[in-house]
A and B are shown apart, each in its own frame.
Chain A
Amino acid sequence: MSRQNRYLQESGTTAIIWIAATLVAVPFFCLMGDLLWNGLNHLSFSFVFSAPQNAGREGGIGPILISTLFILGVCMGVALPMGLGTALFLAEYTRHDHVPGRLIRGSLDVLAGVPSIVFGLFGNALFCQTFGLGFSILSGGLTLACMVLPILIRTVEESFRAISNEQRLSAAALGLSKPTTIRTILFPAAMPGLLVGVILGLGRAIAETAALIFTSGYVDRMPESLMDSGRSLAVHIYDLAMNVAGGNPHAYATALILVSLLFIINFSSSRMAARWMSFNQLPA
């Protein structure tokens, strides 16, 4: 290949990569620009903390924010221990090619691709009706937990598998029991992966609409317990945009709050992971 052709090939490849990366970034910046342009002037202290009035056209999103946080709390409170336990089972107590592990992994992969509306109907049938929890924050949180479990489990399992086997052998060679090895050595080493799983899970949960309409309901009052119905931010945005004439300005402002929440969650988790990594990998 001549020198000129090689130069052209290299420049062409670099240009294609740059264009692809830019095209990916464009929708994000357009979306953020649209949200800021239409939502920023409706944001205020009272909007964040006051109750909605006139079907959400006026007032704020205080109770909706609280309901969302409750739903996320229930979701992660259930998904984290279950996800961690299942990931440990898959990574530490079964071989990669064993039947139980393959069965669980296969079903998780299918679950990860199930549309959220199906989870909503399932949650409604199981939690709201069969378990008698009704339209409640608890039903919504549990349904979301089912949704985020696949992604959480696979991420955490991979982070356990990424730990060098020599660490396990070294621990065993010191006479450490398996529970001690998991608790003191494997768990801290897998922490960054666990945080990534939590970020991905929270991201999916906080943005969910379809599954929550059928489980946690529409009520925009301040929840008094987990058995109360509660409207999440995403459901509120959907309702204002689709069902409430003149609701768009507050829908934009609510979307801005939701995206900000996502930013806060991502940023704080990344900081935690970075702190963790920096402790473990200080230069000599």
Chain B
Amino acid sequence: MDVVQSTPRIIPDPEERSGLRAWLPYPSTEPCSDPVPHIRAKNLSIAYQGHQALRNVTLEIHRGCITALVGPSGCGKTSFLTSLNRLTDLIPGCQVSGNLHMHELDVLAPTTDVLQLRRTVGMIFQKPTVFPFSIRKNLELPLREHGTYDRTLLASAMEKVLQQVGLWDEVKDRLDHPAQALSGGQQQRLCLARALVLAPDVLLLDEPCSALDPLSSGIVEDLIVTLRGYVTVIIVTHNLAQARRIGDHIAFFWSCDGVGQLIEYDTAQAIFETPAHELTAAYISGARG
């Protein structure tokens, strides 16, 4: 049994789950049951200053699934993740080519409303990145930016989403205190709440537990699991045990001659029990990487 599994977990009770159901935008579906893919990438390539970082990634991600991107550092997992909400636009010299669709939306089209895209595609980073003001303002800011000004609505959304991530009881009496005064695990849950308060369709997580202690990591991981069926989750992780625990699908990336490539993409069970590619088998067995 590994360290994370041996730590106490906070599993949301049915009431919390129903709260989640009430807040998130569409009714729960059986994960991965929708025959139409939610996200389709075809021959997606990414280059930085002319240097290819990711080549010809083709995969389809289904609605409500948790998809884990695994592989060694520098194989393009985070690049792929950031292309999904066009954060790559902010990196000088970054060029993304190929096809990337989210439902009918052509993500890479120049006419795509990037701010609206990012409203529906939330993202959590490796280190908790709370903004330097109060907990309340951290949650209200994105809502206000996207047109919600009614104080009752703001308060209600904040309470629901903080309950959803299990922070409400811990912070309800200090909502106007600085968010940076929270512990690392609490900050990461606040970041998750801040992303969820916009009711996103897709949630991108870039190693969300790697900077946290095992207990906080377990709490965040359990929260991610509660999103299955409601939000399409794509998580980059170096923790294979975590990928196995929470992933419905696994995408295995590898760096070939300095260029990241998608080696294998399948269900978690297939990847961990009957990997098709020898590199995948070597990586998950610990022989490579």
Residues of A that sit less than 8 Å from B by CB: 95, 164, 166-177, 180, 184-185, 188-189, 279-284
Chain B residues with CB below 8 A from A169, complex form? 87, 90, 125, 129
Q: Which 4 A-B pairs have CB atoms at the shortest separation, nearest pair first?
A: A175-B118, A173-B123, A175-B119, A170-B129
Q: Indicate if the CB atoms of A174 and B194 lie closer than 8 Å.
A: yes
Residue in B122, B141, B180, B183 whose beta carbon sits within 8 Å of that of A281 in the complex: B180
Chain A residues with CB below 8 A from B117, complex form? 175
Residue in B92, B122, B127, B178 whose beta carbon sits within 8 Å of that of A280 in the complex: B178
Tell me, in angstroms, the Cα distance from A281 to B142 when the chains sit together: 22
Q: Indicate if the CB atoms of A177 and B183 lie closer than 8 Å.
A: no
**Per-residue interface assignment for chain B, residues 101 to 131, with 1 indicating a CB less than 8 Å from any chain A CB and 0 otherwise:** 0000000000000011111001101010101
Tell me, in angstroms, the Cα distance from A118 to B54 when the chains sit together: 56
Could you list 11 A-B pairs, sorted by A, with CB under 8 Å? A95-B92, A166-B125, A166-B129, A169-B87, A169-B129, A170-B191, A173-B85, A173-B125, A175-B198, A176-B142, A282-B181
Tell me, in angstroms, the Cα distance from A200 to B127 when the chains sit together: 34
A160 shortest CB reach to chain B, Å: 13
Residue in A95, A164, A176, A284 whose beta carbon sits within 8 Å of that of B141 in the complex: A176
Chain B residues with CB below 8 A from A170, complex form? 123, 125, 129, 131, 191
Residue in B85, B146, B178, B198 whose beta carbon sits within 8 Å of that of A279 in the complex: B178
Residue in B122, B146, B181, B191 whose beta carbon sits within 8 Å of that of A283 in the complex: B181
Q: Indicate if the CB atoms of B181 and A167 lie closer than 8 Å.
A: no
Residue in A95, A173, A176, A189 whose beta carbon sits within 8 Å of that of B145 in the complex: A176
**Per-residue interface assignment for chain B, residues 174 to 193, with 1 indicating a CB less than 8 Å from any chain A CB and 0 otherwise:** 00011011110000000100
**Assuming A169-B125, A185-B132, A280-B132, is B178 touching A175 (CB within 8 A)?**
no
Tell me, in angstroms, the Cα distance from A213 to B178 when the chains sit together: 48
Residues of B that sit less than 8 Å from A by CB: 85, 87, 90, 92, 115-119, 122-123, 125, 127, 129, 131-133, 141-142, 145-146, 177-178, 180-183, 191, 194-195, 198, 204
Other than the known A167-B132, A174-B145, A282-B180, what 10 A-B pairs have Cβ atoms closer than 8 Å?
A167-B129, A169-B129, A170-B191, A173-B122, A174-B198, A175-B116, A176-B141, A281-B178, A281-B181, A282-B181
Q: Which residue of B lies closest to A281 (CB)?
A: B180
Q: Indicate if the CB atoms of B141 and A184 lie closer than 8 Å.
A: yes
Tell me, in angstroms, the Cα distance from A180 to B198 when the chains sit together: 17
Tell me, in angstroms, the Cα distance from A118 to B155 when the chains sit together: 58
Q: Indicate if the CB atoms of A173 and B115 lie closer than 8 Å.
A: no
Q: Which residue of A lies closest to B197 (CB)?
A: A174
B12 shortest CB reach to chain A, Å: 24
Chain B residues with CB below 8 A from A282, complex form? 177-178, 180-181
Q: Indicate if the CB atoms of A188 and B132 lie closer than 8 Å.
A: yes
**Assuming A167-B129, A174-B198, A180-B145, is B87 touching A284 (CB within 8 A)?**
no
Residue in A172, A279, A283 whose beta carbon sits within 8 Å of that of B118 in the complex: A172
Chain B residues with CB below 8 A from A174, complex form? 118-119, 122, 141-142, 145, 194-195, 198
Tell me, in angstroms, the Cα distance from A118 to B27 when the chains sit together: 72
**Assuming A279-B178, A282-B181, is B123 touching A175 (CB within 8 A)?**
no
Chain A residues with CB below 8 A from B125, complex form? 166, 169-170, 173
Chain B residues with CB below 8 A from A284, complex form? 181-183
B167 shortest CB reach to chain A, Å: 14
Chain B residues with CB below 8 A from A180, complex form? 141, 145
